[in-house]
């Protein structure tokens, strides 16, 4: 059974609480909302007034003592008034729908912006524990469901509730006796609606969560189509998808089954109410206007039943949308990445300085040290245990070890993608937890194994390393990374537009652009995580010549499997089970004939 990610949804919220929080977003379009509400009031008043016209029309037919001309004149006036009310209701109905469309467009813009802004502030651990597909579902399924709620469901709900209130008021005016019957019958409707709402709300929350899991799995499989076909895992992938897809089908069926039976139940109840009221009305009412009152009251019963039915029909979309809104608010309520650092990084002339809150300035030299560091992504599986190491300014430090030894974790702790559980990491004698994260990361240039290129020109992708870099700076960085030659031969050179994560480039060319991006950043400390893993040996040698100039005077951390990259480091640290078991230069470690010697003599590349 495949792993289903359902993290990041936070605690369950009440539907009314979620709805109330959504309504706060109408502050961005108050004038439009007020106009829409006024349109709703006029629309409801027109429809209720049209129903009331049935009373004088019936009474006019039963009236005696009027000449034919007088009766015709009054009858025509009533018909014209009735027509005017219907025209007014049609116009206001169009207007309120138009206004709600405009207001929802504004609200969705603010909600998307707030959601996207929030995700920029979340820690890396949040994205590591959620698939891309489940994250994208917030912007697709959940946002669209919320938009449908505000634009259509809430509009219809406001009309139905307002009309229901007006209808009840007119019933009270027409006949207290008949209204007493409706109170008893209406209590039955309330019980049915409340029970259904409670059950369907729980099921729709589960539906949204499983929909996110399905989206996440689909996106992951689409991205890995080449691997799936290479290893002929199509059948296994389909079987795994069937499991989570069936889970979504089951919870969706439960959610829609409960709400779908509500409509027929209420519809049949309305017919019963109509018949009961009609039968009892004949017995209870008397007088000249009894016929008009009964006909108007029956018309309001029909309106009452229609409005209650409309409310019930909105439960599907309302419950679904509220579940989506709950997920969005869960993200918005997720604690952001905590940054309690006070030390900042400033550049004076050509030198960088750490500046403390009291104004003390410390030159940035690139001295990084770990003291008794413990770290684990999950409590029961420690990755680093009592780890101590140091990198002196200007040194090139290489990490060697098997997969899972903690090499990449060390670099993640240096830039504070994660914080240590025990121990201390210092940067030029300053605890990294005291440094503002933006300043800390600005001092680090990184080239990762998995290169990500953004939609835009080659020049823009290189400039991503430093947004204020000039075109000349970007070209100089490309030459350092040995990327200038292949860029010059692209159709539009540096103005060539890249799409789909640079799909029109080879993996090696994408890696070269990533190195150029790090070069243009002018960061004092460099972290190279398998930076040349996707580049052939000849290109790697050319890059190393450029990197030699880039790395001169800078502290460099290198994670690499190729001996050509590791052997020229000032110090090589061999990691095993989260601890440093050997340290020294290439020649020193060979003389020790330990773990590094075994790797060197038995394998062409370290692994």
Tell me the pLDDT tens digit for each residue of 338-373.
Answer: 888 889 988 887 778 899 888 889 888 888 999 999
Predicted local distance difference test score (pLDDT) of residue 607: 47
Predicted local distance difference test score (pLDDT) of residue 434: 92
Does the pLDDT at position 413 exceed 80?
Answer: yes
CATH level 2 (architecture), domain 15-332: Up-down Bundle (1.20)
Q: How many contiguous H segments (helices) and E segments (strands) does the chain have?
A: 24, 15
Does the pLDDT at position 426 exceed 90?
Answer: yes
- Asked if residues 260 and 320 have their Cβ atoms less than 8 Å apart, the reply is no
Q: What is the pLDDT of residues 81-140, one digit of tens each?
A: 888 888 998 999 899 888 988 888 889 889 999 999 998 888 888 888 887 777 888 888
Predicted local distance difference test score (pLDDT) of residue 423: 93
Does the pLDDT at position 428 exceed 80?
Answer: yes
Predicted local distance difference test score (pLDDT) of residue 378: 82
> Residues for the chain: how many in total?
607
For residues 533 and 232, which has the higher predicted lDDT (pLDDT)? 232
Average the pLDDT over each of 110-114, 212-216, 398-402, 479-483 and give the range with the smallest value. Answer: 212-216
Name the CATH code of domain 450-522 (choices 3.40.50.300, 3.30.70.1350, 3.30.390.10, 3.40.190.10): 3.40.50.300
Global pTM value:
0.69
Enumerate the β-bridge partners of residue 499.
none
| Neighbouring residues of 260: CB distance < 8 A, sequence distance ≥ 6 | 316
The token duo for 594 is 């330990």
For residues 71 and 506, which has the higher predicted lDDT (pLDDT)? 506
- Asked if residues 406 and 575 have their Cβ atoms less than 8 Å apart, the reply is yes
- Split at pLDDT 50, 70, 90, the class of 284 is low
Mean pLDDT for 147-173 is 84
For residues 351 and 143, which has the higher predicted lDDT (pLDDT)? 143
Same CATH fold, 450-522 and 15-332?
no
Average the pLDDT over each of 40-54, 288-302, 577-591 and give the range with the smallest value. Answer: 288-302
User: Phi/psi of residue 372, each to 5°?
Assistant: 50, 50
- Domain regions of the chain by residue span: 15-332, 450-522
Collapse the DSSP code of 108 into the 3-class scheme (helix H, G, I; strand E, B; otherwise coil) and give the result. Answer: helix
């Amino acid at each position: 059974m495949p792993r289903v990610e359902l993290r990041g949804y936070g605690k369950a919220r009440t539907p009314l609480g979620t709805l109330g929080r959504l309504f706060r977003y109408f502050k961005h379009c108050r004038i439009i909302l007020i106009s829409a509400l006024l349109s709703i009031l006029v629309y409801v008043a027109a429809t209720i007034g049209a129903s009331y016209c049935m009373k004088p029309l019936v009474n006019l037919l039963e009236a005696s003592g009027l000449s034919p001309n007088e009766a015709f004149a009054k009858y025509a006036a009533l018909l014209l008034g009735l027509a005017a009310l219907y025209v007014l209701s049609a116009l206001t109905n169009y207007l309120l729908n138009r206004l709600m469309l405009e207001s929802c467009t504004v609200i969705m813009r603010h909600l998307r912006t707030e959601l996207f802004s929030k995700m920029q502030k979340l820690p890396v651990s949040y994205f590591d524990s959620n698939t891309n597909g489940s994250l994208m579902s917030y912007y697709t399924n959940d946002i669209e469901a919320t938009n449908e709620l505000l634009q259509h469901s809430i509009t219809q709900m406001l009309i139905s509730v307002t009309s229901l209130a007006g209808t009840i008021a007119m019933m009270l005016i027409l006949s207290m006796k008949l209204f007493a019957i409706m109170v008893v019958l209406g209590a039955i409707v309330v019980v049915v609606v409340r029970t259904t709402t409670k059950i369907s709300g729980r099921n729709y929350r589960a539906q949204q969560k499983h929909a996110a899991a399905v989206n996440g799995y689909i996106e992951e499989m689409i991205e890995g189509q080449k691997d799936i076909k290479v290893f002929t895992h199509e059948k296994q992938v389909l079987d795994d998808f069937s499991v989570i897809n069936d889970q979504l089908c089951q919870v969706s069926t439960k959610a829609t089954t409960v709400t779908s039976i509500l409509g027929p139940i209420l519809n049949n109840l309305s017919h019963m109410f109509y018949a009961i009221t009609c039968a009892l009305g004949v017995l209870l009412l008397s007088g000249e206007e009894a016929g008009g009152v009964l006909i108007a009251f029956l018309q309001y019963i029909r309106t009452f039943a229609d409005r209650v039915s409309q409310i019930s029909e909105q439960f599907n979309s309302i419950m679904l949308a509220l579940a989506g809104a709950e997920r969005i608010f869960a993200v918005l309520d997720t604690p952001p990445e905590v940054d309690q650092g006070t030390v900042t990084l400033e550049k004076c002339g050509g030198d960088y300085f750490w500046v403390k809150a009291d104004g003390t300035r410390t030159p940035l030299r690139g001295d990084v040290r770990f003291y008794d560091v413990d770290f684990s992504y999950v409590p029961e599986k420690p990755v680093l245990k009592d780890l101590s190491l140091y990198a002196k300014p200007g040194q090139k430090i290489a990490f060697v070890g098997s997969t899972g030894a903690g090499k990449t974790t060390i670099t993640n702790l240096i830039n504070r993608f994660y914080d240590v559980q025990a121990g201390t990491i210092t940067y030029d004698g300053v605890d990294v937890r005291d440094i503002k994260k933006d300043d800390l990361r600005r001092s680090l240039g990184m080239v990762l194994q998995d290169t990500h290129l953004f939609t835009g020109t080659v020049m823009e992708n290189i400039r991503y390393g430093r947004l204020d870099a000039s075109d000349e700076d970007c070209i100089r960085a490309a030459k350092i990374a040995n990327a200038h030659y292949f860029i010059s031969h692209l159709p539009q050179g540096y103005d060539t537009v890249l799409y789909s994560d640079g799909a029109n480039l080879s993996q090696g060319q994408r890696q070269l652009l990533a190195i150029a991006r790090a070069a243009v950043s002018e960061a004092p400390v460099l972290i190279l995580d398998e930076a040349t893993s996707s580049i052939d040996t000849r290109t790697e040698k050319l890059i190393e010549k450029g990197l030699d100039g880039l790395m001169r005077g800078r502290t460099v951390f290198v994670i690499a499997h190729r001996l050509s990259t590791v052997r020229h480091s000032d110090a090589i640290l061999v990691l095993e089970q989260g601890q440093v078991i050997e340290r020294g230069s290439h020649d020193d470690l060979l003389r020790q004939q330990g773990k590094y010697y075994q790797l060197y003599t038995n394998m062409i590349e370290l692994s």
